[in-house]
Amino acid sequence: MITPIPKNYKGLISITGPIRSGKSKLAEFLITEQDPVTYIATSKPRPSDLDWQKRIDLHRKRRPDIWTLIEHPNDICKAIESIKVDQSIIIDSLGGLVEQHLIEDDDQWNNFQIKFLNCLSEDNLCIVVVSEEIGWGIVPATPIGHLFRERHSTLTSLISRQSKKRWLAVNGTAIDLDKIGNVIP
């Protein structure tokens, strides 16, 4: 049986899974005992995409009103650094964050990636990162699709390696990867 993480938990937790697998619900459940919570929503609104707006609205409706919300910050590291000690953070999700950095060249991306991973290593915060498992799907036919998949998959793996706890959500089922898996050397 899954239980929320203890109130005083500090460290990085990664949750991955395919689209509509329950990743965000799992993140929200795991952090229910934490107070205060800041929710960083990385995806920018897409007013012409009604399905996307419905998904964003579902996430908004599920979040407690007492949680602080930061939407698609320009500098996620500054946003994390602005959060006080002993707070908890949900970053939902990595896809929106990677999308914001697709126009950067490889050097700029690598610098961002290192900076972001360093931000996630704060020992005085509980940080839950939600990430889509996109590498299990089709091979993108476009260069930008390929770049997104490669950057996203690499960053997800790096975050997982840095995490104290790792979860996989599949079809509404949460799998504790630390109990059944081993990190590949």
DSSP 26-50: HHHHHTTT-SSEEEEE-PPP-TT-H
CA 176-128-92 angle, 5° bins: 110
User: Tell me, what's the pLDDT at 8?
Assistant: 87
User: Three-class SS of residue 141?
Assistant: coil
Q: Model's pTM, two decimal places?
A: 0.94
Q: Tokens for 128, please give them.
A: 């839950």
Mention every residue, 6+ apart, whose C-beta is less than 8 A from residue 87. 34, 36, 37, 38, 125, 126
Q: pLDDT tens per residue, the chain (185 residues)?
A: 899 999 889 999 999 999 889 999 999 999 999 989 999 999 888 888 888 888 888 888 889 999 999 999 999 999 999 998 888 999 999 999 999 999 999 999 999 999 999 999 978 899 999 999 988 888 899 999 999 999 999 999 999 999 999 999 999 999 999 999 988 88
Cα dihedral 129, 133, 139, 141 in deg (nearest 10):
-40
Backbone phi and psi for residue 54, each to the nearest 5 degrees, phi listed first: -65, -40
User: Tell me, what's the pLDDT at 84?
Assistant: 80
Length reported for the chain: 185
Encode pLDDT of 5-58 as tens digits.
Answer: 998 899 999 999 998 899 999 999 999 999 899 999 998 888 888 888 888 888
